[in-house]
Chains A and B, each alone.
Chain A
Amino acid sequence: MKLTTENKQLTRLAELMQLERDHLFQYACYRLGSATEADDVVQDLYLRLWKQGARLAEIEDLKGYVYRSLINSCTSALRSRRQFATTETLDTLSSDDLAPKDFEQEFRLIERLMALLPDEQSEVIRLRIYGGRQFDEIASICNIPLTTAKSRFRYGIDKLREALEKRGLI
């Protein structure tokens, strides 16, 4: 059966989302700290993109577009509740906290570490570790040169190492 242009694009979208599902979900999980919310955000993202139908053909780098949209969706979700949430600092971090036993503890640890970094560095680290993106993909998603993507990652990791060493945690 012949596919319409819209169906072709929706198929392209569905296949990409299915292929990237675990990374999209994982990124959202470790950004939002809630599997349920991550599920909703990824699903809402899919529906929003789905609504574009045949216009998806105009998007050359669909994968990059999907990740950019996910970042924005997560940021919006966080912004709506940020006024009520506070991130703990590293000052109260103990060595026990470095060995989380479940997702909740692990998210709290990661959130505390990420809070030490400027947004542009934490975003690159999140895309690399939770989104599973290569540096050239991160460069494309964030619209920055490849060298900048790498250096932001390196500076971020260095800063975290220094902070943890200073507190005798590693």
Chain B
Amino acid sequence: MKTNNNLDNFSDNRVVNLLTPRFTPTTSLEFKAPTPRRRPLWQAIRIGTVAAMVAVVVVIGISGVQTSTARDVVERAMTQLLESDNYLVQFTANVTENKNSRELYDIDFDGTPRKGIVEIRKEESNVIMAIKWQDEARTMELYNGESYQRYQNGQLVLERPHGGIDLSPLASLEKLKPYAAAMGWLLKFREEGDMVLVSTRGDKVEIVARFSKSEGRLLGVECSGPYNGQQVTVLTVERIDFDVPPTE
């Protein structure tokens, strides 16, 4: 059956003209097909997102050390997250530089280990996240919810209007809970001797945070994924600090 898809048959042009967009903003979103047998999933998960996930999991895990039930752990973690104005996450990630990417580095199983610090800072209802890389150019990637900025050697070298990473869930409990659920962050808690392990596994990405009950401190966090038939660690968090003075 031939269908008529034209507007002109029954539309009032004056009204349609009013509704027709003239000031549509532009988007820099790109959807790339996966490279066969290599980074099938990690392409879709950018390092900023992973870093934010790690930060939240670590917060949740830290709160869990001195509590007894999973419910207590989550509730206390949310409270701590909300009460902390800022926190720093020191990590090492296997990365490769990607000049076509919206971010400087991609997480890559074959990548080079590189250290960095994620700083998450809350300013009223805004959340700002910076990733500071220990690379030759002292790269800093800044997300403020509205734009993405890249600084190298202290100079702004790239700015894009849309950050792409939604940081707003980190601002309030109401947003964080459904966001965590939507991201598939199903947290599991288990104890092994002196250790409490908090893990979340979404898709093929697994994050495990390890804590010492007796010392009451974080031992480490690892983020891994399957590669060549093995579970390979690509991101490790060494330390997290709360409420430290903001850096420049």
Contacts and interface: CB of A to CB of B under 8 A. Distances in A.
Interface string B35-69: 01100110011000000000000000000000000
Q: Classify the interface of chain A: helix, strand, loop or mixed.
A: helix
A67 interface: no
A59 interface: no
A157 B11 CA distance: 7
B166 A157 contact: no
Contacts of A22: 27
Interface stretch (B17-25, B108-116, B127-135, B215-223): B17-25
B182 A44 contact: yes
A125 B19 contact: yes
A100 B17 CA distance: 12
A142 interface: no
A14 B7 contact: no
Contacts of B33: 7, 10-11, 14-15
Interface residues of A, number: 57
Interface residues of B, number: 42
B145 interface: yes
A29 B11 contact: no
A154 interface: yes
Interface stretch (B92-100, B117-125, B157-165, B229-237): B157-165
Interface in B174-221: 182, 184, 202-203
A102 B33 CA distance: 34
B19 A11 contact: no
Interface in B1-25: 3-5, 7, 10-12, 14-16, 18-25
Given A4-B37, A135-B5, A40 B166 contact: yes
B103 interface: no
A22 B21 CA distance: 13
A1 B11 contact: no
B31, B32, B203 — most chain A CB neighbours (10 Å):
B31
A39 B40 contact: no
Contacts of A2: 36
B34 interface: yes
B34 to A, nearest CB: 5
Contacts of A130: 21
B31 A25 contact: no
